[in-house]
Amino acid sequence: MTLFPGVALVTGAASGIGRATALSFAQEGCLKICICDRDAAGLQETAQQISSISKDVEVSIKEVDMLQEDQIVALMDGVVAQWGRVDYAVNAAGVVGNGQRSTSTSAAQFDLTNGVNYRGAWLMSRSELAQMLKQDPLPSHDGRPGNRGAIVNIASQLGVVGRPDAPAYCASKAAVIGMTKCDAIDYSKDNIRVNCVCPGVTATPMTQGDPVFLKKLQPAIDIAPMGRMGTAQEIADACLWLCSSKATFVQGHALVVDGGYVIN
């Protein structure tokens, strides 16, 4: 029996952590997966990889810009028209910051980072919550009462601690953690769970695309007790657990998955 009998929705699914999460839902037996991103080619590649895992999975591909409220509203309307519900939502779309301290950061750079990472996650989770409020829980794997839905926002270890040259990014991720806790409080009475995962440095195109940036990240990798990058799969595994009925009592948590970076 799968832990995921319902509908999964993943943003940022064209790459990295979002793609690994979408593929993991397929590997774990979820049969309806909506993948969202602004990168159309990346979405096609993710869809292809899902179909090579299982031909039984229905994939809904949604090209959406997380900066655009109307597109997010239309996305949710489309998923609900197609499948009638959203049970597991992982909001992974995000951008890296501009890599400068505040006096070298323009308001436009600040707005872009926070617009995608924080406002975009808020717009998505607001739509997901609105749908989850309308649906009944699905049966759980062992008969315990299920939830109406579970949301996982991707924050960062940098939402928990600071680092040089990242004020806009760190603030955007701290905001995601704060939003997660507040939504968890507000929607507990509605039987919806909202948690976040805070990845440490993870090997994805975000960290590996630019060798100069990767070099700048090396001290953060070295500081973590485990002394290595995480994999996108290791982050996806945490997301799936939080979405599953094995986590029915986990609420408002910021699950740090970082090889120990923040405990050092």
User: Residue 177, interface with ligand NAD (CB under 6 A)?
Assistant: no
Candidates 174, 177, 196, 206: give the one binding ligand NAD (CB under 6 A).
206
* Amino acid letter for position 222: D
Among this protein's residues, is 169 annotated catalytic?
yes
Q: Three-state secondary structure along 153-211?
A: EECCHHHCCCCCCCHHHHHHHHHHHHHHHHHHHHHHCCCEEEEEEEECCEECHHHHCCH
Q: Is the dihedral of CA 147, 151, 155, 159 positive or negative?
A: negative
Candidates 3, 8, 10, 16: give the one binding ligand NAD (CB under 6 A).
16
User: Residue 227, interface with ligand NAD (CB under 6 A)?
Assistant: no
In angstroms, what is the minimal distance from the CB of 161 to ligand NAD? Answer: 12
Of 146 and 175, which has the nearer Cβ to ligand NAD? Answer: 175
Of 26 and 90, which has the nearer Cβ to ligand NAD? Answer: 90
Pairing relation of β-strands 192-199 and 254-257? parallel
Candidates 127, 156, 195, 245: give the one binding ligand NAD (CB under 6 A).
156
How far is Cα of residue 40 from the mean position of the Cα atoms in its chain?
Answer: 18
Among this protein's residues, is 187 annotated catalytic?
no
Nearest to 50 by CA among 78, 86, 76, 21: 21
* H or E, element range at 91: strand 88-91
Binding mask 89-118 for ligand NAD (x = CB under 6 A): ---xxxx--------------------xx-
Active-site residue, from 88, 118, 169, 187:
169
State the residues that interact with ligand NAD by CB under 6 A.
Answer: 12, 14-18, 37-39, 42, 64-67, 92-95, 116-117, 154, 156, 199, 201-202, 204-207
Known catalytic residues? Answer: 169, 173
